[in-house]
Amino acid sequence: MAPMGIRLSPLGMAVFCLLGLGVLYHLYSGFLAGRFAFFMLSEPAASGPEPPRGSAPAGTVDLRELLAVSVLAATRGGQEVKRVREGNVLNAKAKGKTREGAEEQLTSGDLLSNRRMFYLLKAAFPAVQINSEEHVDAADQETVSWDHSIPEDIKQKIQPKEVPAESVTVWIDPLDATQEYTEDLRQYVTTMVCVAVNGKPVIGVIHKPFSAYTAWAMVDGGSNVKARSSYNEKTPRIIVSRSHAGKVEQVARQTFGNKTVIIPAGGAGYKVLALLDVAEKNQEEADVYIHVTYIKKWDICAGNAVLRALGGHMTTLTGEEISYTGSDGNEGGLIASINVNHKALIEKLPDLEKTSHK
């Protein structure tokens, strides 16, 4: 019998037990919550995602990683260029005229390659300035990610090197030799990426979409391409733009001799590769590359970086280094060489320099 003559029913017992549990919960909940908070604070890694391995600290860029992404961007852009050309869906149209009065062509290959290359680089390195030949339409943005993987050949030859992000400018040429592309002269077509640090070209990537050949180099780092043999003084081979061959030929023969061979070609990337040891059946060979008129920096930056990395030179016709900051054009023409006395070449070219600003 319960005290005071009170008998508890099963329902009352249940209520009594629940009240007791409530009191215990109130007493110990604060203690348990405090212990749990202490445990969580003692494990900082659980408070957020781990940063990707190998990524540079905030505000800096690892040039080895940027080289890897540049190679990937040039390759993916090249896939678009090839797909459009092989599908014969160029949708070519004039986008303006050059200073010489020639029509500049724009195709679907230019635009699709540009979109793929730009957004891949921007997603991987959002703090870096990117200059591209084609306009980037924000409404046509493509979501691209990079898994931070670095190809083995780059790992073996290039060491990590961090530089301030604000010192870096990336130059993209999503389709070099567009005129030749519309004419189906595929051997001249390249996609290119260049990285300049404080205006100096330090990384160059030149990709040939229709043969899947890629040349890359990093100044004070390494490369996957080599320079050709020494300059042929008896019968020098001068590679020039197809549209400028007539303008250059007479002066070049007067300068270098009547046995000088003039090689008309399309695309600045192709012309630089002509100076290198490239295992390509459709790649011509030359000793010197000369351009005598205004040229855009995204056309020449990658080739300039590759030549610098291999000990070569690309300068204006008066021997000035080309800065890859500021405006997107180079007014002074250019002369490029490797394994040659570059200064002696420049001294032979006073007449060509006069035409570079026209």
Confidence band of 55 (pLDDT split at 50, 70, 90): low
Supply the DSSP string of 235-261, one letter for each residue: S-EEEEEGGGHHHHHHHHHHHH-TTPE
Confidence band of 206 (pLDDT split at 50, 70, 90): very high
The answer to whether 175 is a known ligand-binding residue is yes
The reported pLDDT for the residue numbered 248 is: 81
Please confirm, yes or no, whether 110 is among the known catalytic residues: yes
Q: Which residue, 286, 267, 263, 261, is CA-closest to 338?
A: 286
The yes-or-no verdict on residue 181 having pLDDT over 90 is yes
The yes-or-no verdict on residue 257 having pLDDT over 60 is yes
The answer to whether 328 is a known ligand-binding residue is no
Confidence band of 156 (pLDDT split at 50, 70, 90): very high
The reported pLDDT for the residue numbered 127 is: 94
Angle (CA) 179-182-186 rounded to 5° is: 90
The answer to whether 153 is a known ligand-binding residue is no
Q: Which domains does the chain have, with CATH numbers?
A: 60-223 (3.30.540.10), 226-348 (3.40.190.80)
* HEC-encoded secondary structure of 293-345: CCEEHHHHHHHHHHHHHCCCEEECCCCCECCCCCCCEECCCEEEECCCCHHHH
Q: What is the mean pLDDT of residues 230-255?
A: 83
The yes-or-no verdict on residue 240 having pLDDT over 50 is yes
Which of the residues 62, 75, 107, 110 is marked catalytic? 110
The answer to whether 353 is a known ligand-binding residue is no
Q: Are 209 and 199 in contact (CB under 8 A)?
A: no
Q: Are 141 and 123 in contact (CB under 8 A)?
A: no
Bridge partners of 157, per DSSP, are none
User: Which one of 26-30, 123-127, 278-282 scores highest in mean pLDDT?
Assistant: 123-127
Rounded to the nearest 5°, which phi and psi values hold at 137?
Answer: -90, 115
Token code pair at residue 216: 């890359």
**Phi-psi region for residue 293, left (φ > 0), alpha (ψ -120 to 50) or beta?**
beta
Three-state secondary structure call for residue 5: helix
Which of the residues 75, 107, 178, 316 is marked catalytic? 178
Overall pTM > 0.85? no
